[in-house]
Amino acid sequence: MRALIAIYARVSTEEQAKHGFSIAAQIRECRRLAGGAEALVFTDEGVSGETLARPALEELRKRIEAGEVQEVVCLDPDRLSRKLLHQLLLTEEWDRLGVRLVFVNGDYSRTPEGNLFYALRGAISEFEKAKINERMCRGRREKARQGRVLRDFQIYGYDFDPNTEQLVVNEEEAEVVRRIFKWFLQPPPGITGMAGIARALTEAQVPTKRGAAKWHRQVVRQILSNRTYLGEFYQNKWDTSGGRVRLRPQQEWILIPCPPIISPEMFTAVQLRLSVNSRS
């Protein structure tokens, strides 16, 4: 198969919404640089540039590995990746396979000066992305400190009101929450423990928050342990940076008061029973 020029274009959902980046515009500029030559086009739309796990990019790498591509044209290094390490990894990989990588915005020739400029451009792109993320996180924390719920967290027993940015009680679901707590403390005949509660709700055809027909023991446990039902909803509780989810120190949590569904006495009794069961 005759080797071809490949065009790669990418835009994330955030960039599309805020900056109006266009896949079509990127392809148009790349075709102009390619001089009208036949080209394969690979596009990742609504995909972050911080990961290499992108469908079109993965397909492009396979085609390059198969020897079907001899040149890759891209609008800018940050369309290829937002991370300097990933930019350099792809550059090294394709250089080793004899594939030329060219950009519409900038002549990154394979000279010491060109390599330095390419590396600096990637570092600046990564820095800009980090600044954007930091500003967004700071803005979300400030909204939380103002007592506003950031989004619909899909908490069973509550609905999210986007107008007031508050949690409001969903009475139908709240009644199920009260039933779960009551059944756990005073099991009716035939219902034993969290697994029994989950089975009873499934048999009663009560849908979960996401509309699933089957309840699981772990979902019941999460409800029994959730302090939101006391009227204490916490934001800024989890740190999702770096691709991992970690619990933040409790002093960083931001309390958002909400309507309670369960009394403090019942909640405390359930936590004591959960603790005893866990030790057993």
Active site residue 12: yes
Given 12, 81, 125, 280, the catalytic residue = 12
Element (H, E) at 157: none
In contact, 41 and 75? CB cutoff 8 Å: no
Helices (H) and strands (E) in the chain, counts: 10, 10
Give the Cα separation of 27 and 207 in Å (integer).
Answer: 46
Residue 211 is encoded by which pair of tokens? Answer: 């509309």
Pairing type for strands 166-169 and 158-161 reads antiparallel
Residue 173 is encoded by which pair of tokens? Answer: 């679901």
Which residue's structure tokens are 């009644």?
Answer: 175
Residue 206 is encoded by which pair of tokens? Answer: 């009560």
Residue 26 is encoded by which pair of tokens? Answer: 């990127």
Give bridge partners of residue 133 from the DSSP assignment: none
**Catalytic residue numbers?**
12
